């Protein structure tokens, strides 16, 4: 057989060696699979030692705050109200604090689906927060950017929605 083919070999272009191409395609596929696998792991693996306390100290240590949800237990896809209590680091209630609320899911790169607002000062350092909502299960952060007595600091809470 090979002797017969031998004649045409001189005329036709040599058959290309496709092996490098297969190797290159294989490497690209492996790279893509690795990328998606690591993305899935990153999106689903919680950082260890997350503090889920409902009472936390603000980032610079100026304030302490505690949240309580009127929806208990927390559920996804329900707009609900929180009460947040804020005080100074030495336990004096903040009676004239200003708040901005934001948050999101750090692993997913998205924020809250709503824009919660502090709508009422209930006195004694308590404030009503309306418009809370979480639309997915998983790890959420909620940030209260607080200004009081000419100082500002951020309280961050971690939540695990199930
Ligand atoms: Cu998400």
- Determine if residue 51 is left, alpha or beta; phi over 0 gives left, psi from -120 to 50 gives alpha, anything else beta: beta
State the burial class of residue 86 (Cβ atoms within 10 Å of its Cβ: 0-12, 13-18, 19+).
Answer: buried
Q: Is residue 18 part of a domain?
A: yes
Looking at the fold, whether 36 and 60 belong to one and the same domain comes out as no
Task: Please tell me the distance between residue 59's alpha carbon and the centre of ligand 1 in angstroms.
Answer: 24
Looking at the fold, whether 12 and 65 belong to one and the same domain comes out as no
Main-chain dihedrals φ then ψ at residue 101, nearest 5 degrees: -115, 130
Domain assignment of residue 96, given as a range: 55-161
Looking at the fold, whether 75 and 155 belong to one and the same domain comes out as yes
Task: Please tell me the distance between residue 136's alpha carbon and the centre of ligand 1 in angstroms.
Answer: 6
Q: What span, in angstroms and rounded, lies between the C-alpha atoms of 127 and 99?
A: 10
Q: Is residue 49 part of a domain?
A: no
Per-residue model confidence as pLDDT tens for the chain (162 residues): 555 555 555 566 677 889 999 999 999 999 999 999 988 887 778 888 999 999 999 999 999 999 999 999 999 999 999 999 999 999 999 999 999 999 999 999 999 999 999 999 999 999 999 999 999 999 999 999 999 989 999 999 999 999
Looking at the fold, whether 105 and 156 belong to one and the same domain comes out as yes
Task: Please tell me the distance between residue 108's alpha carbon and the centre of ligand 1 in angstroms.
Answer: 5
CATH code for the domain of 132: 2.60.40.3340
Looking at the fold, whether 12 and 73 belong to one and the same domain comes out as no
Q: What span, in angstroms and rounded, lies between the C-alpha atoms of 43 and 139?
A: 10
Q: What span, in angstroms and rounded, lies between the C-alpha atoms of 158 and 106?
A: 10
Q: Is residue 74 part of a domain?
A: yes
Task: Please tell me the distance between residue 98's alpha carbon and the centre of ligand 1 in angstroms.
Answer: 28
Looking at the fold, whether 94 and 21 belong to one and the same domain comes out as no
pLDDT given at position 26: 95
Task: Please tell me the distance between residue 137's alpha carbon and the centre of ligand 1 in angstroms.
Answer: 7
């Amino acid at each position: 057989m090979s002797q017969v083919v031998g004649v045409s070999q001189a005329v036709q272009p040599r058959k290309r060696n496709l092996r490098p191409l297969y190797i290159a395609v294989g490497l690209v596929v492996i790279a893509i699979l690795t990328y998606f696998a690591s993305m899935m792991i990153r999106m689903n693996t919680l950082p260890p030692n997350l503090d889920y306390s409902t009472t936390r100290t603000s980032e610079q240590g100026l304030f302490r705050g505690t949240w309580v949800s009127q929806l208990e237990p927390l559920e996804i896809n329900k707009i609900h109200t929180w009460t947040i209590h804020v005080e100074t680091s030495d336990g004096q209630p903040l009676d004239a604090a200003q708040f901005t609320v934001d948050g999101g899911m750090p692993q997913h790169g998205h924020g809250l689906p709503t824009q919660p607002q502090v709508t009422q000062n209930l006195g004694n350092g308590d404030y009503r927060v309306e418009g809370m909502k979480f639309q997915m299960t998983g790890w959420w952060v909620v940030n209260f950017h607080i200004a009081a007595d000419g100082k500002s600091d951020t309280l961050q809470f971690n939540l695990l929605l199930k």
